[in-house]
């Protein structure tokens, strides 16, 4: 599973290429950039025609066709890296062993309020149970690892927790007061910075959510 230079061969199943990166794609993009010098990597992806993107089911059909294409083209002596759990459904369709899935969370499986509509419920089940077919699951937190163990006690694969890192090229410690002055904030107060969404699964206090929405609306 290594090239002539001893570097491991890794085939990355990237999924649909989009113009803007979501959180999971950004994690993958940064990971790939960091490991590239040390591996023999190859990416497999697909582009869904714009005319079909408004048909929700076609997105999942696209994933299935992509899985078949990736299986046919993957290097037989490579490790397959699936960069997020939603692509885990392709592990139902083909044998990609040895395979690794980066599972950010199984929140849509755990919180049944996401199960709106029978087709989406089926999709959630497919991608989560497909992820469980991987040889190794990587997670960014113990919380997700515990969720997996609790919901799939009989067939949990090998789990490895690798916490999300910080890109020191972009983020550096600086003087707190410089930041406060930039945004016109009093320097004698304590502040909490929250950069996630306000969805219920984040357990974000609604009083904070309302004040942040008001603040954003006042700035536009």
Q: How confident is the model over 150-179, as pLDDT tens digits?
A: 999 877 779 999 998 887 777 778 888 888
The per-residue pLDDT for 207 is 56
Mention every residue, 6+ apart, whose C-beta is less than 8 A from residue 28.
Answer: 12, 14, 83, 84, 102
| CA–CA dist 139, 54 (Å, integer) | 31
Tens digits of per-residue pLDDT, 63-81?
A: 667 777 777 788 888 999 9
User: Domain ranges in the chain?
Assistant: 9-161, 176-219
Work out the angle at residue 57's Cα, subtended by the Cα atoms of residues 55 and 62, and round it to the nearest 5 degrees. 100
Residue identified by tokens 């490895």 is: 160
Say if residues 47 and 77 touch (Cβ distance below 8 Å). no
9-161 is a CATH 3.60.21.10 domain: no
The per-residue pLDDT for 15 is 79
The candidate with the shortest Cα–Cα distance to 81, out of 165, 160, 169, 163, is 160
Question: Token pair of 159, please?
Answer: 């789990």
Say if residues 12 and 41 touch (Cβ distance below 8 Å). yes
Strand order in the sheet with 9-16: 40-46, 9-16, 79-82, 99-102, 136-139, 158-161
Work out the angle at residue 202's Cα, subtended by the Cα atoms of residues 215 and 189, and round it to the nearest 5 degrees. 45
Say if residues 127 and 85 touch (Cβ distance below 8 Å). yes
The per-residue pLDDT for 162 is 92
The per-residue pLDDT for 213 is 47
SS3 content of the chain, % helix, strand, coil (to 5): 45, 15, 40
Q: Which residue numbers in the chain have pLDDT < 70?
A: 19, 48-64, 114-119, 199-220
What's the CA dihedral at 22, 26, 29, 33 to 10 degrees?
Answer: 160
Residue identified by tokens 């950004």 is: 26
| CA–CA dist 100, 120 (Å, integer) | 24
The per-residue pLDDT for 218 is 42
Q: How far is CA 201 from CA 62, 144, 154, 160, in A?
A: 28, 13, 26, 23
SS3 label, residue 220? coil
The per-residue pLDDT for 40 is 94
Measured in residues, the chain has a length of 220
């Amino acid at each position: 599973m290594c090239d002539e230079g001893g570097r491991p061969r890794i085939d990355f199943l990237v999924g649909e290429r989009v113009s803007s990166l979501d959180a999971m794609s950004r994690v993958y993009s940064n990971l790939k950039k960091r490991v590239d010098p040390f591996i023999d990597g190859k990416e497999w992806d697909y582009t869904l025609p714009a005319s079909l993107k408004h048909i929700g089911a076609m997105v999942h059909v696209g994933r299935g066709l992509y899985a078949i294409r990736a299986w046919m083209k993957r290097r037989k002596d490579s490790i397959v890296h699936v960069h997020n759990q939603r692509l885990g459904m392709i592990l139902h369709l083909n044998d990609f062993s040895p395979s690794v899935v980066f599972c950010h969370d199984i929140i849509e499986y755990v919180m049944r309020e996401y199960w709106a509509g029978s087709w989406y419920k089926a999709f959630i089940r497919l991608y989560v149970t497909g992820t469980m077919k991987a040889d190794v699951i990587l997670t960014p937190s113990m919380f997700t690892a515990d969720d997996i163990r609790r919901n799939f006690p009989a067939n949990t694969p090998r789990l490895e927790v690798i916490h999300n890192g910080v890109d020191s090229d972009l983020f550096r410690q600086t003087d707190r007061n410089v930041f406060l002055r930039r945004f016109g904030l009093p320097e004698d107060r304590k502040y909490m910075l929250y950069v996630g969404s306000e969805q219920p699964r984040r357990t974000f206090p609604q009083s904070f959510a309302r004040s942040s929405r008001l603040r954003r609306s006042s700035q536009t």
